[in-house]
Every structure is written in structure tokens, then in C-alpha cells.
Chain A
């Protein structure tokens, strides 16, 4: 079985220490977490983890089973890229002088549909949402001019299929 990119979604109680418990499951199998995002979900007091890994389908099945059996995990799923809508966000901090000295910079911003978050005397910050490849493309375009800082978020995604967590929680009552 060959390695593929999988997005694992975990709905859980909002609990200190659960991240440690979940990351340990990946650690045991030497799987590098490519990206991790934790946030509130659509349900009050329920957290959602989005974890991106590169592994085989068999292992991702095993891992999701082992995540789901953790006491505070409500439900865990895995999806391939085709089954989810996903994107990442990136911030670029660039010297303000370049806006005037390098006319090309303005074109790059326009073409990439990035937004300018802030402009100050010394620097400006651009935000770009999209697929990893789009962000990398933009990074490559800015690179020759010098990037003061760059940061990219973890993947956030929603599945095309229904998750039905609310009804699951409802059934407990």
C-alpha cells in the first residue's frame, strides 16, 4: 500500500492533555504530523482537530481507531483530499520600500488575490488563503525580493460528507 495524504478530523471534549494523548499515537508509529489545527467546532464545548499526515490507508484506519477509543474523543474520521474542502492561510511580511522600488510586487499581489492586512512605514503584511501549492507559488514569487517573515497555518478543512456529531451527542442524553 502506498502513502497518501489523509486529513484526520477529530471531534472531542475540550480537555487539557488530549492533544498529548493524540499526538502520542502518531509518535508511536513514527508518523510525522504535516499539519495540525485545533479549534472550537460547530458544537458548543466540542473541539475539532484537523491533522494532516502522509501514510498508508491501513495505518490511517488503525490510527483513527486508536484515536477514537480515547475516552474524550467523540468521533474521528479520515478523508482523502478529494473528499474534503481544505485550505491553508499564510502571512508574508515584506519591506515597505519594495512596494515603491519594485513595481512588480504590486502585480504579484493583484494576480495572487492576496490581501494586504496592514501597511506601516517599514513593512507591510500580506495574507493569502488557498491550497498549499498556491501559497508556495506566491512564496516563490516574493522570494527574489526578500521576505522578512513568513508563516503558514495548518490545514483547515470541512468534509463533503455529513459528520453527524450533533445527533451522536444528542443520542447520549
Chain B
């Protein structure tokens, strides 16, 4: 049967099991939207308020479910508005397929209305991209797009489809992609390397595990927990690894990096063997590479060969699927408890608690509400079962530091790219992907205003996300740096904000503003009890800083408590 390219796009999405996409219509993608109208029973399209919102929503959906998120937009500005989300998905390895309309083939290169070279623009930030100029290419390219987006180390793929290719008819048939000869998504596991790694780990006196999102992407949470528990090795996480291991697990020693916990950062430079799982030694995690874990032998379990020795020189690299590697590693490990070594973590945790955490969670001296205590209040009422979606900045660091998580895929944040404006649309996607779970977006007053228009999407779709704005009337993280490193010169970080509650109410979202500590408990309880979306603005202490902190370029063991 002959069908149009536009219909083929929809049929390909259905073949790939897609039932929800985010997008915004426009001239060059109209044939596809016309088919969306016909297929609305099978494929739900969520109209966002800005294409950037479509990508972040697709990312939130992907991060919460593990499935491929899909965003769709028109040519020109529609396509360029996707770029931030695509870049975010690329650096955070999020599986996403973006479909853009393009001017007709005969107009390509002529500077036609809403023509932009989105292939050229998106090349550095996509795992793969392709411009379709003939309808008959659509099934093969869409199949490749989904295969590439989800396989191996996941990432974003962009398929640009010229308008003629959407209109033209062809004989449709679909075959899922199962392999591409030039692409090896998962390197073959070398069992000898696993044995070498096990021997080194077994010989270690002070081993430290550092884990990242690879555990979550590889669906290896159970295998990982088994390895941690059998080996008795303290395990610390990167912010994208957060929630892969429950936060209250006795062997979970906390967060790595710039605003991470005191013990794992300091002891990174004391351990004798550093075992990394599915993480890439980002500069926010390592600080100065010249003084990072130089005393340790490094074992790196990783799916992407390009990450081996990129930042940190490894002793043993175990390439492959982490689920398989962990399963192979487990029987080779000696059961240990490393009690003395754990005592070092406990002692330093105590130091951090007394000098930072205690005051953050229970501010004294008449200080205003802190971000940390707000997060703690959410913990109290969510009991650690909520998905927490954060933006970028101080609130993000407080949320990652203090949020409790019982289960995986619960922490959704913009890690590598640090995209302000990520959280609100990402929370929409997360909630739609996991409607049975509570989804709380925690956002700063700055980032909120970057994608505030997505309140319209929440209103239109009635998606019951909970939104907490931690309002300090500053771009807090930048202000903190200005205070610490730029002699208090607060250049353009003071925010004169609108009446947020009135705005949320304008979108008919139940709203409340909290300015006093004694009202926080009840407000958070009411928010989480709400069946509908809920907007909670919390006025927090204006000039609080996030500590501990490893200043840029400093060494992990130079972590400051104040």
C-alpha cells in the first residue's frame, strides 16, 4: 500500500512503540501534523509552548522511563530552538529522537523562508543526524534513528525531513534496525580484564567505588548493589548516578565533586584502588586532574571506549555492558567489610554534619528558610519515593545533596550541560512517563523564568506535577561565586521578580507562597496530597551558600567546608 512520507513518519513511531511525543507545529512539518490528527487515538501529541520545552520534556520522559523520548518541530526557528535540549541530551547520554521539518528539496540551499541548516547546526551535539529528502528513505532512517538513540551509550538523534518527502507517496514497509556495520554499540566484554579487575579490587586495603549514570542506563542497579554489598566497598556517586543506589544504603557514602560530600571527596585522594562504573570523570567530579587520585590504581568499567584514559589514566579498563560486567565480577570478589576504612568515612561525615549539614537543615540565628530544609521537608512527606526534577544552580546542589531516594531513575537533572530552564518541562515529561509516581520539580527563581511558559502546557494537559520554586531573588550560584571569588561584586545577579503565584494562578494552577518556616510543613504536605498540579513558592534565605565546595581548579582534597 502506498502512503505519504508524513504518514510513514507516524507509522514508524508506532512501530517503535512510541505513544507520546512533544512538539510544536509550523509550516515545514504540517504534513506530519496532519497525520498526527488522524492518528491521535494511537499517538498522543503534547503541545508545548516553546520547542526547547519539547526537548526537555522528551528528556524527562526518557530519564524517568528509560525509553526513547521524541520531540518534533518545524524548520528554521523551530529546529534551532531544539538545540539546547539536544546538547543537554548529548552530554547526559539521554536517548531522544528529534524530528524536524525542512523546506522542500528544490529549495535547499536557497535561503528559503524558515530554511536553516539544522544538520550542520546539530552535528556537534547529536549522536547521529540525517536529512531525509525522499519519502522512501523514511522507514530505514527512522529505524536507524531509534536504534542509535537507544543502543550502547544512548544519545540524541535528529532526523530532518524535507517537505516534499513528507508529501510524496511510496510503498511502506518497516523493519527494525538491529545493527550498523560501522557502529559497535557495546564492546565485547573481556573476561580476562574482569578477572584482573577482581584481583586488584580484592587486594585493595582502601578501595572506593565511584558510580555514574551508566548503572541506570545499563539497568544494572541490582547487579551493582550486589557487588557493593559483597565487596563491602564504600560507594560514592556523581549527580547523574544519584538514585542508582538508595541514598540511605549503609554503603552509600554520598556525592562526589564540587559540592559533594566531604568524605568521598577527601578520601578519593586516600584510596588505594578507585573503581569507576559508568561515569566519565567530569571536571566537576575530579577538580584538578593533576592531583586527582594520583595514589590510586584506577579500574574503569565503561561502555564508551572514548572515555577510557580521556581524563584519568586507568590501570585496568573493562569495556562492555555494565550489567554484564558486574555479573561477571560478582563471583570473583572476596566478601569483605572494610570496617576501618568505613570508619574514616564516618568520621568525616560527622565533621561535615557538624560544620555544614546541621545548620543547613536547622538554621539558627533568625535566618530565613534554607533550601536544604525545604528539600528535607519534601523528603519527610514523600518518604523518598518521589521523582525529583531539578534545574541548575544552588537549588540543584541542595536537592542532590539532601534529597532521599529509595528507587532508581528518581533524580532527573541537567548534569553535564547545566541547562537552566530544564526542570519545568522535564518534570512534565517525567510525570507523563511515570504517572503513578509523584514528580516534584525543584527550581530556582532564575531558571524557572527561562521556561516559565510551560505552565501553559501543564494547564492544557492537566499533568499533575508539583512545582517548588526556591526563591532567593538572586541567581544564587553565580552570586555565590561573586561573593567568594569576585569580591562581592554582584553583577547582574539580583532578580526583581514578578508575582509568581499570580502567574501560576493565571494558568489555573493551585498555588501557595511560604515565607515563614512554621508554614513550610503544612504547605509541602498540602502540595504532595494534591491530586492536581500544585505550585509552591518558598522564599528562602537570600545569600546562603552551598558548601562544601571544591573551587574550580582546586584538588578534591582541598574541599572547603565554609
Interface residues of A (CB under 8 A from B): 12-13, 17, 20-21, 24, 28, 58, 61-62, 65-66, 68-69, 71-74, 169, 172-173
Write out, one digit per residue, whether chain B residues 104-148 have a CB within 8 A of any chain A CB (1) or not (0): 000000000000000110011001110100000000000000001
B182 at the interface (CB under 8 A from A): yes
CB distance from A159 to the nearest CB of B (A): 19
B485 adjacent to chain A (CB < 8 Å): no
- B residues in contact with A12, CB < 8 Å: 182
Q: Are A74 and B127 in contact (CB under 8 A)?
A: no
**Roughly how many angstroms separate A58 CA and B127 CA in the complex, as a whole number?**
23
> Which residues of B, 198-246, contact A by the 8 Å Cβ criterion?
none
Task: From A20, A21, A28, A73, give the contact of B182 (CB < 8 A).
Answer: A73
Given contacts A24-B123, A69-B306, A71-B183, 10 further A-B contacts (CB under 8 A): A17-B123, A17-B129, A28-B124, A62-B310, A68-B305, A69-B304, A69-B305, A71-B180, A71-B182, A72-B182
Contacts of A61 in B (CB 8 A): 309
Q: Known contacts A68-B305, A68-B306, A69-B306; is A169 also within 8 Å of B123 by CB? A: no
> With A20-B120, A24-B123, A71-B148 in contact, do A65 and B305 touch (Cβ < 8 Å)?
yes
**B308 at interface, CB cutoff 8 A:** yes
B179 interfacial by beta-carbon distance below 8 Å: yes
* Beta-carbon nearest neighbor of A62 in chain B: B310
Interchain nearest-CB distance for A23 vs B (Å):
10
User: B182 contacts A74, CB within 8 Å?
Assistant: yes
B181 at the interface (CB under 8 A from A): yes
- Cα distance, A8 to B25, chains bound together (Å): 44
Name the residue on B nearest A72 (C-beta): B182
Instruction: Give the dominant DSSP class at A's interface.
Output: helix
CB neighbours (8 Å) of A169 from chain B are 181
Residue of A nearest to B309 (CB): A61
For residue B154, give the distance in angstroms from its CB to the closest CB of chain A.
13
A172's partner among B131, B179, B305, B308 (CB-CB below 8 A) is B179
> Which residue, A12, A71, A74, has most C-beta atoms of chain B within 10 A?
A71
- Give the A-binding residues of B (Cβ under 8 A): 119-120, 123-124, 127-129, 131, 148, 179-183, 304-310
Checking B120, B181, B307 against A74 with a beta-carbon cut-off of 8 angstroms, the contacting residue is B181
B-chain residues with CB within 8 Å of residue A74 when the two chains form the complex = 181-182
Which residues of chain A have C-beta atoms less than 8 A from B128's C-beta? Answer: 71
Contacts of B309 in A (CB 8 A): 58, 61-62
The 8 closest A-B pairs by CB, nearest first: A65-B306, A172-B181, A74-B182, A71-B128, A24-B124, A71-B183, A69-B306, A66-B306
A26 to chain B: closest CB distance in Å? 11
Check B306 against A13 for contact (C-beta < 8 Å): no
Q: Which residue of A has the minimal Cβ distance to B310?
A: A62
In angstroms, how far is the closest chain B Cβ from the Cβ of A89? 29
A74 to B120: give the CA distance in the assembly, Å. 22
A69 to B308, CA, bound (A): 12
B305: A residues at CB distance < 8 A: 65, 68-69
Q: Find out whether the CB atom of B119 lies under 8 angstroms from the CB atom of A17.
A: yes
How far, in Å, is B499 (CB) from chain A's closest CB? 43
Task: Looking at the assembled complex, report how far the CB atom of A66 sits from the nearest CB atom of chain B, in whole angstroms.
Answer: 5
Q: Give, as a whole number of angstroms, the nearest-CB distance from A129 to chain B.
A: 32
Chain B residue nearest in CB terms to A61:
B309
Closest partner residue, chain A, to B306 (CB atom) = A65
B182 (CB) vs chain A CBs: closest residue: A74
Across the interface, do B127 and A71 meet the contact criterion of CB distance under 8 Å? yes
- A21, B122: Cα distance in complex, Å: 10
Q: For A62, list chain B residues within 8 Å (CB).
A: 306, 309-310
Contacts of B127 in A (CB 8 A): 71
A52 CB, nearest partner CB in chain B, Å: 21
- In the complex formed, the residue of A with least CB distance to B311 is A62
Residue of A nearest to B147 (CB): A71
Q: Kindly report which residue of chain B lies nearest to residue A22, judged by CB atoms.
A: B123
